[in-house]
A and B are shown apart, each in its own frame.
Chain A
């Protein structure tokens, strides 16, 4: 038994901590670390101990070095097998195809029709584990040569997701771009078997519900429809989300009738209502031209039917703005 304990004590994983650079005081990052219990904590020197984590095998309360759980130790060499990976991938796709066929038989989205029709509220995305973060992609103007940085990680007690980083509106020095400064978090397009594109059908709901906690910055909520055609990739529907800052959670309800249409980043004169039967992705963008750190904590994102909201579309088309529609 003692040998088992000794073996288990020896098999621990080392953690790494990215030390903040002196040139970039990540104030928001420090605040984020204060707010959340990240798995990434400062590496403790051998002489110092931390009583925050105990290994499972340590029955005596023996303090150990804190380690990062997502990096394997040198003793445990990960098995890299190309054939096994291919076979697993194929099996996964066929399993998803089988689930798809069974769900198709049961009803829309794999649930009975009466359940779908009677549903008045639905949580679409929630953040309770690392696998929930995999459904999102973060991007910033670093892709075009800017200096903004954005990160996404799990929040405190794995009850929320924390989007944080630094916004920099310094334009990239490529001779082309005059403006810069955005950070975004976009949901991945849902995929079925063999990576077929799927979409969300929210036609029986009329409001987007977000439970967030921000730092007072104004965000844009963007919704994209299905992107079969190339031109549709540049089209999206957006609305503003003003965060209050402060320690209290904020419940943001945005009716879908308020979303306005934009193409290639420009709000178009001719406005169309958002059609909810083929929603592809939802995203949050920060581009308020204020340099500095930011954070946004998200508990969940859902949709619901507000029976008091009867507006169909908030914007009108007028002959002055878009004469083409009134020819």
Chain B
């Protein structure tokens, strides 16, 4: 893509998300979503092959349906409340329709079917934007309307998302699909806490974005899209293999890494609100996620899979890829747990 076009498209994506974040008028929020969706289509089709076009088409159809449902919910809300301002939604039908629309945009179960297919069909950089930046706008709207959302609906979607994210990623060998199912599971965790403590949802989102960005950047550094290609990393760049180990453990939510913070906080908050079954179920299904992260880690860093050459270590050439953000992302994804007591300022 030519640089001027890339700049225009990227700035439209950012502008669309900013409009959603800063608007209090429902129509402007809808316009922001539309701008965001239309601008990301060329990003998804960057590689211009039939699979990328199929993925873009699937993404467009799903997001357009979600936008249509969002507009329906907005109109119903306008009918009953008489105003366009984003605030408490008095009508339960409007609230449900808007929640379903935003769940479809996020990829929450049972509207998650597009996430692995679209993520698998696009390039690593496009997938990275899809699974990180594109979550910000819908979650910000959910944050604002969280007091009006039907808690049973959200908890059901959260439980099914966590289960689907764990079960679906179990026997995947394609890395992008693994990260897509990881995204579904993390969205489930965020949805579960949204009703009780939306601030924790923002914390979970921030840590999730840092971990996912770091993981994608490591895969882009290696140009790895399958587990097999990742398992040859020990031969090419052993440092990257050890970083993948750390990031996978963090994504799995193991202490003493940063990924443990949101899980700990969410389970604590849910138990404070007299919910025992839900956090237990979520903690158990998180083990499924941990299983496939550990399998990936095992293949990459803990064993030396046979590679095409017979050398123990390839010549270490200086890398030409500029990954400026990688070191701070790795640090942020792995070493933030000691800062947990500072979270009391969020109360």
* Chain A positions near chain B (C-beta within 8 angstroms): 103-109, 113-114, 116-118, 201, 203-204, 225, 228-229, 232, 235, 261, 270, 272-273, 275, 277-278, 307, 325, 327
Contacts and interface: CB of A to CB of B under 8 A. Distances in A.
Contacts of A103: 171
With a 10 A CB-CB cut-off, give which of B167, B226, B231 has the most chain A CB atoms: B226
Interface string B168-184: 00111110000000000
A272 B228 contact: no
Interface in B38-55: 48-51, 54
Contacts of B57: 229
The 4 closest A-B pairs by CB, nearest first: A272-B49, A108-B171, A204-B228, A307-B308
Contacts of A232: 50, 54
A113 B173 contact: yes
A153 to B, nearest CB: 35
B173 A116 contact: yes
A117 B171 contact: no
25 contacts: A103-B171, A104-B167, A104-B170, A104-B171, A107-B171, A108-B172, A109-B171, A113-B295, A117-B231, A117-B299, A117-B305, A118-B305, A201-B174, A203-B226, A203-B228, A225-B50, A225-B51, A228-B58, A270-B48, A275-B49, A275-B51, A277-B120, A307-B308, A325-B48, A327-B2
A277 B174 contact: yes
Contacts of A307: 308
Contacts of B167: 104
A225 B227 CA distance: 21
A108 B173 contact: yes
Given A204-B173, A272-B48, A277-B120, 6 more contacts: A109-B171, A118-B305, A203-B226, A228-B58, A278-B51, A307-B308
Contacts of A204: 173, 226, 228
B51 A201 contact: no
A228 B173 contact: no
Interface string B151-181: 0000000000000000100111110000000
Nearest to A203: B226
Nearest to A105: B170
Given A229-B57, A307-B308, A327-B2, A203 B51 contact: no
A113 B50 CA distance: 29
Contact of B54 (A229, A273, A325): A229
Contact of B299 (A113, A203, A278, A325): A113
A273 B47 CA distance: 11
Nearest to B49: A272
Interface string B288-328: 00000001000100000110100000000000000000000
Contact of A228 (B54, B295, B299, B306): B54
B154 to A, nearest CB: 27
A152 B166 CA distance: 44
B50 A203 contact: no
A201 B49 contact: no
A113 B170 CA distance: 10
A109 B172 CA distance: 10
B97 to A, nearest CB: 27
A113 B225 CA distance: 16
Contacts of A117: 173, 227-228, 231, 299, 305
B119 to A, nearest CB: 12
A105 B299 CA distance: 18
A117 B306 CA distance: 10
Contacts of A229: 54, 57-58
Contact of B171 (A113, A118, A327): A113
Contact of A272 (B50, B170, B174): B50
Contacts of A113: 171, 173, 227, 295, 299
Nearest to B306: A118
A299 B232 CA distance: 34
Contacts of B225: 203
Contacts of A105: 170-171
A186 B189 CA distance: 45
Contact of A273 (B49, B173, B231): B49
A201 B299 CA distance: 19
Given A113-B227, A229-B54, A277-B120, A203 B174 contact: yes
Contacts of B174: 201, 203, 277
A223 to B, nearest CB: 13
Contacts of B117: 228
A256 to B, nearest CB: 14
Contacts of B172: 108
Interface in B71-94: none
Contacts of B120: 277
Nearest to A103: B171
Interface in B216-258: 225-228, 231
With a 10 A CB-CB cut-off, give which of A225, A275, A327 has the most chain B CB atoms: A275
A270 B52 CA distance: 14
B173 A203 contact: yes
A113 B295 CA distance: 8
A63 to B, nearest CB: 56
Interface in B48-71: 48-51, 54, 57-58
With a 10 A CB-CB cut-off, give which of B167, B171, B225 has the most chain A CB atoms: B171
